[in-house]
Structure 1
Amino acid sequence: MLGSDRSRPAFHQSYEIIRDKILNGELPGGTKIVEEKVAAELGVSRTPIRESIRKLEQEGLIVNKRVVKPTEKDLRNMFQVRILLEGFSAKCAASYLKEDELESLYKCVEIGRQGTVEEIMRANERFHEIIVHASNNSVMIDIIDRMQSIIYLFRKTVVFYNRPHLIDEHEEIYDAIKARDGEKAEMLMKHHLQADLDFCLHLIGK
C-alpha cells in the first residue's frame, strides 16, 4: 500500500516503490510486471502504475513489461556514453566549478576514505553528480541521470564492491579540476570510468 503522504502524487509514490523493489532485488530480472496486479498491491488505479512503468522503461529498468536483465553489452554501451559525457563534464568543471562546489567535491573524497560503506557509495555518486552538473547542459545531465538506475542495478547484480584506487583517482580528478587543468581532468575522468568498467567486467567473468 502507498504511504499516507497525500501531498505527493500516487504516480511518484508508485514509481519509487516499484523502482526500489527492482533495485533491491525483490523484483528480479525477467519478472513480468502486470499493471492490474501491481495496482491492487499498492491500492491505486492502473493510471499511476502505467505512468510509473513508462518512466521505468525510459530509465531502462523495464523492457517489454519485464524487469531488465542487464547484459555485458548493456554495461559496455552505457559506460562508453558515460566516458564521453563525463569526460567533457570534467573539462567543464575545471573552468566553471565555484569554490563552494570544489569544497563539496573534496568532501566526497574525504568521505570516500573514512565513511561507512553506504556513506562511501553515496559520496562517490555525489562526486560524479557535482561534475556532471558543471556541464550546465540539461540534455547531458538527463541522459546520465537516466543511466544511473541501471548502472546501480548492474553493480548490485555483480556485487560491485569498492575497487582498488577508486578514491585515489577521485582525488587526482579533484586536483586537476582545482588546478583548472581541463585537459588533464578530462583524461583522468575517462581513465577512471574505463577502470570502473574493466573492474565490473572482471567480476562478471569470475
Structure 2
Amino acid sequence: MLHSNSRTASQQAYEEIRDRILNGEITGGTKVVEEKLATETGFSRTPIREALRQLTNEGLIVNKKVVQPSEKDLRNLFQMRILLEGFAAKTAATYLPEQDLETLANCIKVGREGTPEEIMEANELFHQIIVNSSGNSHMIETIDRMKSIIYLFRKTVVLYKRPQLIDEHEEIYKAISQQDTEQAKELMEKHLQADLDFCLHILNVSRN
C-alpha cells in the first residue's frame, strides 16, 4: 500500500488505525499486535508503534487492547469538554487578537461553503483557537488527549449535517468579538451539548 508524503508516516498510521477503531472495524477488546497492523496497513513497525503510543495516550487502547467507549464514557468525556471549552470561550471573549478573530470568521465561511473535509478542518481550527486562547497548558493538553473522541463527534456532526452547527459557531464568534464573556461561555456550552445529543442519537441509530 502506498501512502502520501503530505503527513508523516506515524500520523497517517495513527489516523488509519484510529478510524478503524472508531468505525468499528477493529472492535473493542481486540488485542493490538504491531506486526499484524503493519502487514494490514503497509506501514513499517516504527510508525505503527508511534501511532499506538498516541492512541494509548488518548485512551483508545488500554493494556494493548482496543477500548470501545460506552455511551457513559462519551457523556463523561464530553461533559469535561463542555466545562473546559465553556471556560475557554469566556477567556477568548476577554481578549482575542484580531488575527484570531479573522480566522474564526473564515472558519465560519468555510463551514458554509467548503467540502466535508474542509468543514472538518475548519471546525477543528475554530475550537482549537478558542481553547488555545486560555493560555492554560493543562487545559490544552487535556483537550488534546481527548482528540480521538472529539474527532468521532466532529466527523458525525459534519457528515450527517447537524442542523444549526455553523449558525452556532457564528453566534459564538459574535459573542467573542463583542467581548460578551458570559454569552460566549453559555453559547459554547449549549453548542457542545447539542453536538453530544446529536451524535449519541446518530450512533445509537447506527448500532440498532
State the TM-score, normalized to the length of structure 2: 0.82
Q: Residues 14 and 54 of structure 2 are in contact (CA less than 8 Å); yes or no, is this contact kept in structure 1?
A: no
Q: Is contact 1:27–1:67 with CA below 8 Å preserved after alignment?
A: no
Counterpart Cα distance in 2 of 1:20 and 1:188: 33
Shift of 1:158: 9.4
In the superposition, relative to structure 1, how do residues 29 and 22 fare at CA in structure 2: closer, same or farther (>3 Å)?
farther
1:2, distance to aligned residue in structure 2 (A): 9.2
Q: CA deviation at 1:143?
A: 0.7
Residues 200/50 of structure 1: CA separation in 2 closer, same or farther (3 Å cut) = same
Shift of the alpha carbon at 1:78?
1.0
- Please say if residues 158 and 203 of structure 1, whose CA atoms lie closer than 8 Å, have aligned partners that are also in contact: no
CA 1:146–1:174: 2 relative to 1, 3 Å: same
Greater than 3 Å deviation, 4+ residue runs: 1-5, 12-16, 24-27, 35-45, 48-52, 153-160
Q: Is the 8 A contact 2:156 2:199 kept in 1?
A: no
Q: What amino acid is the match of 2:26?
A: P
The alpha carbon displacement at 1:38 in A equals 4.1
Residue 37 of structure 1 deviates from its aligned partner by: 3.6
Find the counterpart in structure 1 of residue 26 from structure 2.
Answer: 28
TM-score for both structures, normalised by structure 1: 0.83
Deviations 1:103-145 (A, max 9, x none): 0001011111111111111111111011000001111011111
- Which one-letter code corresponds to 2:145 in the other structure? R
Q: How does 1:176-195 map to 2 (within 5 A)?
A: 176-195=175-194
Q: 1:13 is matched with which residue: 9, 12, 32?
A: 9
In 1, Cα distance between equivalents of 2:126 and 2:157: 22
For structure 2, the residue ranges without an aligned partner over 5 or more in a row are none
Secondary structure of the residue that 1:119 maps to in structure 2? helix
Distance 2:203 2:48 in 1: 33
Sort the Cα spacing of 1:192 and 1:33 in 2 relative to 1 into closer, same or farther, 3 A: same
